[in-house]
Amino acid sequence: MSLSRRQVLAASLACSLFPAGAAFAADAPRDLDQIVVTASRTAQTQDQALAPVTVIDRAEIERRQPQSLPDLLRGEAGVSLANNGGAGKATSLFLRGTESDHVVVLVDGVRAGSATSGGAALQDIPVEQIERIEIVRGPFSSLYGSEAIGGVIQIFTRRPRGPFEPNLALSIGSDNARRYSAGLSGRTQGDAAEHGGWYAVQAVHDETDGINAYTNTASRYYDPDRDGYRNDSLGVQGGWRFNRQWDAEVNALRAESRNEYDGSVDNLAKGVEQIAGGRLRYAPNDAVRFTASVGTSAELSDTYLDGVYSSTFDTRRRLGALQADIQAGPGLLSVGFDWQRDEIESSETYDADHRINRGAFAQWQQTFGRQSVQASVRHDDNSQFGGKNTGSLLWGWDFAEQLRLTASYGTAFKAPTFNELYYPGYGNPNLGPETSHSAELGLRGEHAWGHWSLNAFQTQVDDLIAYDADLVDDAHPFGQPNNVDQARIRGVEAVTGAELAGWQLQTTLTWLDPRADGDTNHGNVLQRRARQSGRLDADRSFGAFSLGASVFGAGARYDNLANTVHLGGYGLLDLRVGWRIAQDWKLSLSANNVFDRDYETARWYAQPGRNYQLTLRYHPAQ
């Protein structure tokens, strides 16, 4: 059932925006199953969103029993992953075939990621800390600025559903894996419309001995040992509604990791992923909302060789934002300003160690009859490369009772990283931003039996940053990166969800044609992207018992842009069973990679074979 624009605004008034635009419940957390916020920086029902959006909630997370965030995202529409050897190892996510640093990652609205290497350390965000994920596919620089060429992924951490809600999960598994998670959350009993508060605390310990991940026996970096991983995290957040007009919220997440690996000059990394934010909202009436927010994120990393310190790469980000959402006649006008400062500290000497970005945007959303539009424009001013303008236009037409046709066009960009700009002996301070323009056509249906969607798109990326051997000088004897490459990506995504004979079925299929389009390697497939991938999930309950299975398949890929290193396709089968032994207690067993398939998503890095996980979970029924 669709809501009116005024009802959606009322829902959005119950939400808040962090620096990158995420929205949350203003008082006690609410069930957001039908509300998405990432696709427009305002609250809207999922069927109203004109962009393709995938939502993974806590119930689905516990049903799938993933061992990590990359495991959870594997096989989602448009998502391709490359991992260097299992739990905790470096993971690259390619959304719609774009680069791994062409996606914005938000955690409770705060932008995460490294300013030196680009991309976010998804492998270091514990899955037990996650309440909900929204994946928005398509160009969204006109709302979020740099990096949003392929889309935006927003991660919401655990939040309460009732007055008092403890939770506990204990897991053991193959390779001496063990995970312990405990949390407390709740909300006050005040008048939710007038005042009241909520809180949530979650602690997680995750550890495994790992596998012998690096398989190149001819390399001097080969070591036939297990490459273990450990992660300890704590998430804390809370909020308070003072009255109908004012509310505030704060959040913090810190994850400390220890990662053993082979295949490089170092073999141990100790890292910290840290994210914190706060916001203040003022809504004088049902038609107007103002939000002020601040945030900070950090990715800190020290590397070692056989226990001896080697290097430090620390990046810190400070953010601030102001946004106004105004019901203006038949539409919703949103205007805002974002501020971001990136700074680095490293054992390497960079020519510059900080930069500031300021962005101003405006968006108009309106439904008229059976048609809807979402139009946005943005100007970013970066202290390193100057200004950049982006825009997008999305249109939808409900041409039948249960069918919607959508079309969109948008431009986006990605600012160069500090490594690309200033890394000693390599960086090029004259680099400009990578740019893109994308077009998309979609069709979706909502029926009594379920839903489906089909989206076809094309993205052209210009000024891609690539190695240029012609840029040789005394300081750079081997050349530098330069804006010399292009890429053309075409794709089709199909998603269905249905109930059949008591089984809950979900399927995703993705076909990609991601190719280099410049003078170098023209026509070659972009590295580490599978051209075909798909996933089928089937789950059913039988009283106190539940059964489920996931089938995932990915086609062949190349590990280099020259397309001379071939990685074969593969298929995986995961099985799971659950037993609710009491009202609040559940025992679950999962078997992953049941057929013990050997495969790689990055050359010389093995993936876990057949493995098991047993979990005892306590969660009071609501």
Residue 241 lies in a domain: yes
Residue 374 lies in a domain: yes
- pLDDT for 622 beyond 70: no
Model confidence pLDDT, tens digit, residues 364-415: 999 999 999 999 999 999 998 899 999 999 999 999 989 999 999 999 999 9
pLDDT value at position 192? 53
For the beta sheet containing 151-157, the strands, ordered from the edge strand earlier in sequence to the opposite edge, are 53-57, 130-137, 151-157, 103-107, 110-112
Q: How far is CA 235 from CA 202, 207, 299, 340, 444, in A?
A: 5, 18, 16, 23, 37
- pLDDT for 322 beyond 90: yes
Residue 580 lies in a domain: yes
For residue 128, give the DSSP letter.
G
pLDDT value at position 471? 76
Distance of CA 104 to the CA centre of its chain: 7
Q: What integer best gives the mean pLDDT of the chain? A: 92
- pLDDT for 7 beyond 80: no
31: its two tokens: 């069930």
pLDDT value at position 588? 97
240, β-bridge pairs: 197, 248
Residue 116 lies in a domain: yes
Measured between alpha carbons, how far is 80 from 452 in angstroms, rounded to an integer?
21
- pLDDT for 14 beyond 70: no
pLDDT value at position 298? 97
Nearest alpha carbon to residue 220 among 248, 262, 179: 262
Model confidence pLDDT, tens digit, residues 103-139: 999 999 999 999 998 889 999 999 999 999 999 999 9
Q: What is the pTM of this model?
A: 0.93
Model confidence pLDDT, tens digit, residues 28-85: 333 334 789 999 999 998 889 999 999 999 999 999 999 999 999 999 999 999 999 9
Q: Please say whether the dihedral angle defined by the alpha carbons of residues 108, 111, 113 and 118, taken in this order, is positive or negative.
A: positive
Residue 290 lies in a domain: no
Model confidence pLDDT, tens digit, residues 550-607: 999 999 999 999 999 999 999 999 999 999 999 999 999 999 999 999 999 999 999 9
Domain that holds residue 28: 5-212+229-265+315-618
| Residue 284 buriedness (CB in 10 A; 0-12 / 13-18 / 19+) | exposed
Residue 448 lies in a domain: yes
Residue 164 lies in a domain: yes
Give mean pLDDT, residues 346-361.
96
Angle, CA of 115, 116 and 119, to the nearest 5°: 60
Model confidence pLDDT, tens digit, residues 472-483: 777 776 678 899
Residues 295, 279: contact at Cβ < 8 Å?
no
pLDDT value at position 191? 57
Give mean pLDDT, residues 15-24.
35
Residue 98 lies in a domain: yes
The CATH code of the domain that includes 605 is 2.40.170.20
Q: Which residues contact 591 (CB under 8 A, 6 or more apart)?
A: 574, 575, 576, 610, 611, 612
Q: How confident is the model at residue 498 (pLDDT cuts 50, 70, 90)?
A: very high
Nearest alpha carbon to residue 287 among 318, 335, 328, 339: 328
Model confidence pLDDT, tens digit, residues 412-440: 999 999 999 999 988 999 999 999 999 99
pLDDT value at position 180? 98
How many domains does the chain divide into? 1
333: its two tokens: 């006008």
pLDDT value at position 30? 34
Beta strands in 401-502 (DSSP E): 403-414, 434-447, 450-468, 480-500
User: What 3-state DSSP class applies to 158?
Assistant: coil
